[in-house]
Structure 1
Amino acid sequence: MASLFSRIIAGELPGRFVWQDDEVVCFLTIAPLRPGHTLVVPRREIDKWTDLPGELLGKVMSVAQVIGQAVERAWDAPRSGLAIAGFEVLHCHVHVTPIWDMTDLELSNIKPETVAAELDQAAVRLRAALRDLGQGQFVPED
């Protein structure tokens, strides 16, 4: 059975995509730590990041770096945080979020009932920041 993320990638379930290329997609999580909390996901359904082929792992991390730069720009954050856990969905994904201090990475801060309009606005801001960074060819239309 396809993972939740494979179903989002296939368009079977909705997703707020901010990046799409042949190997990696990025979309906002529906339960963010902070506005702009983005998931970087390989299209290939591989459970653990430690099982990714080296080249694909490198691509995921390269895209995560660009997303990190974009969330810092879009939210004027001093840093972006990155986390890999993988227990929620058994399809490798990297969490990238703007942070101001270490407490911004605490999972107890997740906001599972975030209003759809807030998520939509965060997607618009992040897409604009990615375009400003010269990454427009990977950014889907708003």
Structure 2
Amino acid sequence: MASIFSRIVAGEIPAHKIAETEDFLAFLDAFPITEGHTLVIPKKEIDYLFDLDDALYTGLFQFAKSIVPALEKTVPCLRIGVSVIGLEVPHAHVHLLPLNSMDDADFTKKIKTSQEELATLAEKIRSNL
């Protein structure tokens, strides 16, 4: 069965997309822990980050890095944090987290946001790419 991220790539599930290439996709987390919480994935479904071949692994992080300036321009923060956990969805992914304190990296706390707010935020981030 395809992961939820593969279903987003296939267009079966909507997402608030930030950027996309032939191999990678960045979109806002539907259940963010900070404003601007972005997920960056390879389009190819591979469960474990360290199972990616070298080209896909480095490409994923280069693509993630390309999103950071737009996030910094859009969401006031001290820096963009990066987290790789990989237990919640069986599809390799990187979390980009606008951070102002270590408390902002608490994955047990979600912020409340509407689909309209996410859509507006995604548009603002895209406009800063």
TM-score range, shorter chain: over 0.9
Q: What RMSD over aligned residues (CA atoms) do the two structures have, in Å? A: 1.1
Ranges in structure 1 where 5+ consecutive residues have no aligned partner = 131-142
- 2:16 is aligned to 16
8 A contact 1:15–1:27 mirrored in 2: yes
Task: Quote the sequence identity (%).
Answer: 37
- 1:83 is aligned to 83
Q: Tell me the amino acid that sits aligned with residue 94 of structure 1.
A: V
Aligned residue pairs, count: 129
8 A contact 1:79–1:98 mirrored in 2: yes
Deviation at 1:66, TM superposition (A): 1.7
TM-score, length basis structure 2: 0.94
The 4+ residue runs of structure 1 with deviation greater than 6 A are: none
1:1-142 aligned within 5 A? 1-111=1-111, 113-130=112-129
- SS of alignment partner, residue 59 of structure 2: helix
Ranges in structure 2 where 5+ consecutive residues have no aligned partner = none
Which has the larger displacement, 39-48 or 118-127? Answer: 118-127
Deviation at 1:34, TM superposition (A): 1.4
Deviation at 1:82, TM superposition (A): 0.6
Q: Report Cα offsets for 1:78-115 as digits up to 9, x if no partner.
A: 2001101111110001000211111111112223x521
Structure (1/2) with the larger helix percentage: 1
**What is the CA–CA distance in structure 2 between the aligned matches of 1:43 and 1:59, rounded to whole Å?**
12
